[in-house]
Chain A
Amino acid sequence: MKFDLGKIKKILTNAIFQLILLFFAAWVIFPVLWGVSTSLRTFEGIYQVSDQLTLHDSATAGTVAAQGFLAKAEYRLQAGGRLLRALIPPTPIQWRNYVEAWKKGNFNKYFLNSFFYMVTVVLFMLLLSSMAAYAFARLRFPGKEFIFYLFLASLVMPLPTIFITVYLLLQNFPIYLFVVPIISASLLIVSAGSLRRIMFSGLGILLAAGAMRAILPQGYWLIKFLHIKINLLDTRTGYILPQIASGLPYTIFLMRSFFEAIPVDLEDAARIDGCSRLGIYFRIILPLSRPILAVTGIFGALSVWKEFLFAVVVFSDNAKMPIQAGLLAFQGTYRTQWNYLMAGVIITVIPVIIVYLLLQKHVISGLTAGAVKG
């Protein structure tokens, strides 16, 4: 008897748990399914929802309200069932909406744009951050701690707090911002053998630059060249570069902890065989780190695909917009035609869902790898 009681209790709790799961799963999936359903209706079909939901017998909403609790509950349950049935779009099913939306919304263009941004941002981000992460994990070099904490601090100054200045920067992008760091960095490294010499040559470069500014006339070509301002707004470059930069810190952290877990012996063996550090990085570390590259790559790609704030800020020209901003532009042309708009929305969702279902394991493990440690 006692045994039975325990069993019944267990079945009951399980049933409750299942009900909770089912309810929230329905809550999660309903908006998406409703979008699909709407996208397959004619414009008139959208307005048939009300008919589909209404009972075609005597029981109207007014009479139900007057009835007792049980009758009300029963009626509401039935209404829930009808809600499910309303998910099925009335025939004829309008597959044409997708073709129409794709053509009218220029999704060809947006897909290509987004794909291009995704590939470039992810490639650059993976290359830059894996190199940096390798150095942080394995190598000793001057300023290591300081540079690492610089990246660390940036997690606290996210892009949304500075996007206005990034906009201003892109509007008037001075060439020297890129040229000067690159030239001085390479000069410093190639010429220097010691920290002291780095400091001296740094000082030298600063003095030389100051002297140059003082001696050379304002119109001199070199100064003119360095002060050329490019307008990167409304260009693909202007959209890609800040995104690479903003993705770096997080990727570097994930990769650094991954690299630290790779046994050092492997590298030592390669070094004894005369492999350089760069060779080790390309021949040993990169091939070994395929899992982490996949994970960070997927996440980077996903975040570029979903990116919206910068797209709105940087682009005013529709032709270069990525897909999310394109969707917004598309809404402008179809303000009230929800069937087309939903078709557009579903079009942007389909590739993501496919990738998610295929790479589910990578996606979830990547997310948790970062989190459980942090």
Chain B
Amino acid sequence: MLKRQWKHREIMYLFFVLPALIFFGVFVIYPFIKNFLITFYSWDGINEMKFVGLEQYKKALFQSPDFWKPIKNAAFLALMGITVQNGLALLLAWIVDKELKGARFYRVIFFIPPMLSFVVIGFLWKWILEPNQGILNIFLKNIGLGKWALAWLGLRETALPTVAMVNIWASFGWGFVMFLAALQGIERDIYEAARIDGANNFQEFWKITFPLLLPIITSVSILTILGAMQQFDLIYVMTGGGPAGATEVPVNQMYMQAFQNGMWGYATTLGVLLGVILFLISIFQLQIKKWLVDW
């Protein structure tokens, strides 16, 4: 290839990009690199940094549950996200797309939770789930299901599923809107043709709608996973990671290691490892997309 001389004008065009690039470099790229470098040091935030090599990676990956346990919890949130949450989003989008009575109304309603912040959602649900005065338990006792009136957020077995449920409530609207948009992009003629061939609702869904939606389903699923792996606000407000670490998630753990235990080097190590996992998930998505296109 011939080396091309850049015209003065063209180099001046860099001015369009540079402001964004400088901001981005200072607040994203520079911390990213520095974050990586700090992982090799043990540091309490005040005294000298001490070089420890891969010690902290070893500790996070093999010796303590500080990394894998939160990842497992976040993976549970993610799994609930891609199955229950996206399934629900898809079901509701599919029904609303049929343009029954009141479809517009439901479209507005289902997108309300994504408008709310996780702090607000956390408080709203915390109040409903309150062990003694919460409406859920009062209601359960009232209909004779008193044995189900649990301290939902206080028990080790129920805390994580409960938070997962709230997370589903909070986020299924995103998937709903995206699926609905994709559904509305499908030509009506295809359905008509299927009807004439005698397909029922469910055949129609599995044979036509689902395959056509596969690309967007993978996109939304990946976004759901990435969102769940980075969850922090909801956990912070609802359980603070408790009881006994049952709802500990990675970002939460990083926050604790740094700001409460003063182990800054270790906290950044956890951050890098989380980053690696997110990166792998994204790569995986690209691969799946490629397969879908080929197929």
Contact surface of A with B, Cβ cutoff 8 Å: 13-14, 17-18, 20-21, 24-25, 27-29, 31-32, 34-35, 38, 46-47, 49-50, 53-54, 61-62, 64-65, 72, 75-76, 79, 82-83, 86, 128-129, 131-132, 134-136, 139-143, 147, 150-151, 154-169, 177-178, 181-182, 185, 188-189, 192-195, 198, 241-242, 244-246, 248-249, 252, 277, 281, 302, 305-306, 308-309, 312-313, 324, 327-328, 331, 338, 341-342, 345, 348-349, 352-353, 356-357, 360, 363-364, 367-368, 371-372, 374
Distance (whole angstroms) from the CB of A115 to the closest CB of chain B: 15
Chain A residue numbers with a CB within 8 Å of B251 are 160, 163, 309
Complexed CA–CA distance, A329 and B255 (Å) = 18
Complexed CA–CA distance, A75 and B144 (Å) = 9
Whether the pair A135, B16 counts as a contact (CB closer than 8 A) is yes
Chain B residues 166 to 207 lying within 8 A of chain A, measured CB to CB, are: 169, 173-174, 177-178, 181-182, 185, 201
Known: A131-B17, A324-B119. 19 other contacts (CB 8 A): A17-B100, A27-B169, A31-B124, A32-B124, A34-B135, A143-B14, A161-B274, A162-B32, A165-B31, A165-B34, A165-B268, A169-B30, A177-B30, A189-B11, A327-B119, A327-B123, A338-B133, A363-B111, A371-B178
Name the residue in B105, B123, B258 with the highest tally of chain A Cβ atoms < 10 Å from its Cβ: B123
Would you mind naming 7 contact pairs between A and B with Cβ atoms under 8 Å apart?
Answer: A17-B95, A24-B88, A82-B142, A134-B16, A165-B38, A168-B34, A308-B117
| Any A CB within 8 A of the CB of B291 | no
Contact of A139 among B13, B25, B29, B272 (CB under 8 A): B13
Complexed CA–CA distance, A142 and B12 (Å) = 10
Complexed CA–CA distance, A101 and B261 (Å) = 34
Distance (whole angstroms) from the CB of B169 to the closest CB of chain A: 7
Whether the pair A194, B123 counts as a contact (CB closer than 8 A) is no
Given A324-B117, A368-B177, residue A249 in contact with residue B100 (CB < 8 A): no
Distance (whole angstroms) from the CB of A361 to the closest CB of chain B: 11
Whether the pair B31, A25 counts as a contact (CB closer than 8 A) is no
Query: Is the interface on chain B under 10, 10 to 19, 20 to 34, or 35 or more residues?
Result: 35 or more
Contact of A372 among B27, B101, B178, B272 (CB under 8 A): B178
Whether the pair A72, B35 counts as a contact (CB closer than 8 A) is no
Whether the pair A189, B264 counts as a contact (CB closer than 8 A) is no
Whether the pair B133, A47 counts as a contact (CB closer than 8 A) is yes
| Any A CB within 8 A of the CB of B67 | no
Complexed CA–CA distance, A142 and B113 (Å) = 44
Chain B residue numbers with a CB within 8 Å of A158 are 226, 230, 278
| Any A CB within 8 A of the CB of B120 | yes
Whether the pair A141, B142 counts as a contact (CB closer than 8 A) is no
Contact surface of B with A, Cβ cutoff 8 Å: 3, 5-8, 10-32, 34-35, 38, 88, 91-92, 95-96, 98, 100-102, 105-113, 115-121, 123-125, 127-128, 130, 133, 135, 138-139, 141-144, 146, 169, 173-174, 177-178, 181-182, 185, 201, 216, 219-220, 226, 230, 232-233, 236-237, 251, 254-255, 258-259, 264, 267-268, 271-272, 274-275, 278-279, 282
Whether the pair B124, A345 counts as a contact (CB closer than 8 A) is yes
Given A131-B16, A356-B112, residue A367 in contact with residue B174 (CB < 8 A): yes
Chain A residue numbers with a CB within 8 Å of B115 are 302, 352-353, 356, 363
Distance (whole angstroms) from the CB of A226 to the closest CB of chain B: 14
Complexed CA–CA distance, A363 and B216 (Å) = 19
Whether the pair A371, B135 counts as a contact (CB closer than 8 A) is no
Whether the pair A164, B21 counts as a contact (CB closer than 8 A) is no
Distance (whole angstroms) from the CB of B273 to the closest CB of chain A: 9
Chain A residue numbers with a CB within 8 Å of B127 are 34-35, 38, 338, 341-342
Given A24-B110, A86-B135, A309-B233, residue A151 in contact with residue B24 (CB < 8 A): yes
Complexed CA–CA distance, A142 and B182 (Å) = 37
Complexed CA–CA distance, A371 and B127 (Å) = 34
Distance (whole angstroms) from the CB of B153 to the closest CB of chain A: 15
Given A135-B16, A165-B268, A364-B177, residue A348 in contact with residue B21 (CB < 8 A): no
Complexed CA–CA distance, A216 and B225 (Å) = 52
